[in-house]
Amino acid sequence: MIPPPIDSTETGSDQQDKLAAFFDASITMMEEEYRFEQALRDRIYPNRVAKSVFSRHHPSRTLPGKNAKRERTLSNFDFIVIGAGIAGASAAYELQQQGQTILVEREPLPGHHTTGRSAAFLLDSYVGAVVGSLTRRSRVFFEEPPAGFTEAPLVTPNAVLWIAREDQHESLKEATRSGREAGAELIEIDLKEALAHCPILNQDYVRETVLEPSALHIDVAGLLESFLRGFRRRGGIVSTRAEVISVRQNGEAWEVEAGGETLHAAIVVNAAGAWSDVVGSLAGAKPIGLAPLRRTAITFDGPPGTDTRSWPLVMDADEDFYFKPEGAQLLASPCDETPSEPCDTSPEDYDVALVADRVQRATTLELRHIRRRWAGLRSFVADRSPVIGMDPERHGFFWLAGQGGFGIMTSPAASRAAAGLIVNGRLPEDLEALGLRPEMLSPSRL
């Protein structure tokens, strides 16, 4: 199935409603095809399973199901990927080229949590050797995706305008210096030019501005669906409403109970987002110290009669808030990072009021009505770099977690890094050429 076209005038809420309806219609098909594909493999291609990494140690067999009168086939795979957000979907897409892969997701829809609530941008000014390298390689993918991967552009140019009050001079100076060191084009512009980009800036508030013209807005829904569609075209299986209740090692293979099914594979990829440490504990792995942090967002109307779709993302020099176009509306966030347990999070009234106040101070807008509010969890480890690597004590249990606020924009390169490490024990050559090394990503560093 092909996702519905997204009108650039639609709000994020309208787009999510349209995509939710599409996924609802797709889920029944996925479940039916999942059962069909299982039966097809067992009946027509028995040797395919026999050739898998798993089946060299555990041949396919049947055991009694919940009903003693019925039997169900234990499914054997090369790779089980847990979590169908952008990390899991992209990893499954890459791994399916190397062996039979199943992608399991607890929720009814892929990308229900952080991925589906992201306002993703690709910024070259993000610092850090790991995130910077993954971002640069991912930009190539976004700008020139593989043939047939998507029917519409994954990214659109959308500049970022950094703003500073008088007391934020040093903050903006440091952000500009570090961003340029990371390879970003950052241009100091005067207030008159800044107002041409975003005419609602409050001239009594904003004193300095810097433009990052090379930033890109990422179509998150289109990216996720393209990975999922490509994965299934390659023969991969997506299983939704499949909560993982146990992960245990059985000799050289792993056994995963999910959605009432027992799945076997040589490799389990833990891409469970904020729940990654929870899944790790099921597997007997030591925690990586994952910290889920709540991030709030709101949408509201721009100035009456004004087309805001060409405006830049406006970012505070201290990253205390930002606002950007969102269809025909504007989206803003207070850039909050409130510690949270893994959950289906929701915004707090304080954070909503905080971002509304900051936007009103920095602009000439008066926010009379909040159209929509939501929150998502961004998860970090101590050094705020992603964790991509085999568990040091649980061979075959692979971590793909801790992407924080960079998961969308690094997903093409991060998924290739994961596949390279799993299949070949090394990173792809183009990532090595950028200075990335397995130890920089490994959970062993924590």
Q: Are residues 38 and 99 in the same domain?
A: yes
Q: Answer yes or no: is pLDDT of 8 > 70.
A: no
Mode of pairing for the β-strands spanning 160-164 and 244-250: unpaired
**pLDDT band per the 50, 70, 90 thresholds, residue 284:** very high
Please indicate, yes or no, whether residues 209 and 302 belong to a single structural domain of this protein.
yes
Range scoring the smallest mean pLDDT among 11-25, 79-93, 305-319: 11-25
At which of 336, 357, 380 does a domain end?
380
Count Cβ atoms below 10 Å from residue 42 Cβ, excluding itself.
16
Whose CA is closest to 209, among 224, 193, 232, 225?
Answer: 193
Catalogue the E-assigned strands of 120-189: 121-122, 155-157, 160-164, 187-189
Q: Which residues contact 28 (CB under 8 A, 6 or more apart)?
A: none
Its sign, for the CA torsion 379, 362, 184, 297, is: positive
- 137 found inside a domain: no
Say if 244 falls within a structural domain: yes
The proportion of the chain whose per-residue pLDDT surpasses 90, expressed as a percent, equals 77
Nearest to 182 by CA among 215, 159, 225, 150: 215
Residue type at 133? S
102 part of a folded domain: yes
Residues 413 and 433 in one domain: yes
Domain that holds residue 241: 18-60+75-119+220-288+385-445
Using CA atoms, how far apart are residues 239 and 84, in angstroms rounded to an integer?
A: 9
**Same-domain pairing of 89 and 237:** yes
Exposure class string for 378-403: b at 16+ Cβ within 10 A, else e: bbbbeeebbbbbbbeebebbbbbbbb
pLDDT value of position 116: 60
The span from the CA of 341 to the CA of 394, in Å, is 25
Q: Which of 380, 395, 423 is the last residue of a domain?
A: 380
Residues 307 and 395 in one domain: no
Provide φ and ψ at 276, rounded to 5°: -60, -40
pLDDT-derived band at 252, boundaries 50, 70, 90: confident
Do residues 265 and 330 both lie within one domain?
Answer: no
Query: Would 148 be classed as within a structural domain?
Result: no
Do the Cβ atoms of 430 and 281 come closer than 8 Å?
Answer: no
Confidence band of 30 (pLDDT split at 50, 70, 90): very low
Same domain, 321 and 396: no
Nearest to 55 by CA among 237, 280, 266, 289: 266
Burial classification of residue 371, based on how many CB atoms lie within 10 Å of its CB (0-12 exposed, 13-18 middle, 19 or more buried): middle
Q: How many domains does the chain have?
A: 2
Residue 209 falls inside a structural domain: yes
Is 430:155 a contact under the CB 8 Å cutoff? Answer: no
Least confident span in 48-62, 141-155, 343-357: 48-62
How far, in Å, are 195, 274, 293, 342, 356 from residue 287 at the CA level? 48, 12, 17, 14, 37
Same domain, 183 and 263: no
pLDDT (tens digit per residue) in 34-60 = 443 444 334 323 333 333 333 333 333
Instruction: Please indicate, yes or no, whether residues 114 and 47 belong to a single structural domain of this protein.
Output: yes
Rounded to whole angstroms, how far apart are CA atoms 39 and 48?
13
If you average pLDDT over residues 197-210, what whole number do you get? Answer: 98
313 and 164 in a common domain? yes
In a domain, 138, yes or no: no
Q: Rounded mean pLDDT of 207-219?
A: 96
| Last-in-domain residue among 324, 352, 380 | 380
Burial (CB count <10 Å: 0-12, 13-18, 19+), residue 98: middle
Beta bridge partners of 188: 210
Q: What is the mean pLDDT of the segment spanning 221-234?
A: 96
pLDDT (average), residues 255-278: 96
State the residue for tokens 């179509």: 219
Q: Do 231 and 370 lie in a common domain? A: no
Token representation of residue 279: 């899944």
Q: Is 147 a domain residue? A: no
Alpha-carbon distance 12 to 18, whole Å?
10
Mean pLDDT confidence for 124-147 = 92
Which domain CATH number covers 320?
A: 3.30.9.10
Q: How confident is the model at residue 258 (pLDDT cuts 50, 70, 90)?
A: very high
**Element spanning 90, H or E:** helix 86-95
Mean pLDDT across 122-146: 92
Contacts of 232 (CB under 8 A, 6+ apart): 30, 33, 238
* Average pLDDT value over all residues in the chain: 86
Phi, psi dihedrals of residue 318, rounded to the nearest 5°: -95, 10
Q: What is the pLDDT of residue 75?
A: 83
Q: Based on the fold, state whether residues 169 and 281 are members of the same structural domain.
A: no
Q: What is the pLDDT of residue 20?
A: 52
Segment 56-85 mean pLDDT? 55
Q: Domain with 415 in it: what CATH number?
A: 3.50.50.60
Spatial separation of the C-alpha atoms in residues 162 and 170, rounded to whole Å: 13
Within a domain: residue 401? yes
Per residue in 310-346, pLDDT tens? 999 999 999 999 999 998 999 999 999 999 999 999 9
User: Of the given ranges (10-19, 64-73, 75-84, 206-215), which has the lowest mean pLDDT?
Assistant: 64-73
Residue 323 is predicted with a pLDDT of: 97
What is the DSSP secondary structure assignment for residue 57, as one 8-state letter?
A: T
- Output the pLDDT for position 1: 46
The whole-number pLDDT of residue 322 equals 96
| Total residue count of the chain as it appears in this document | 446
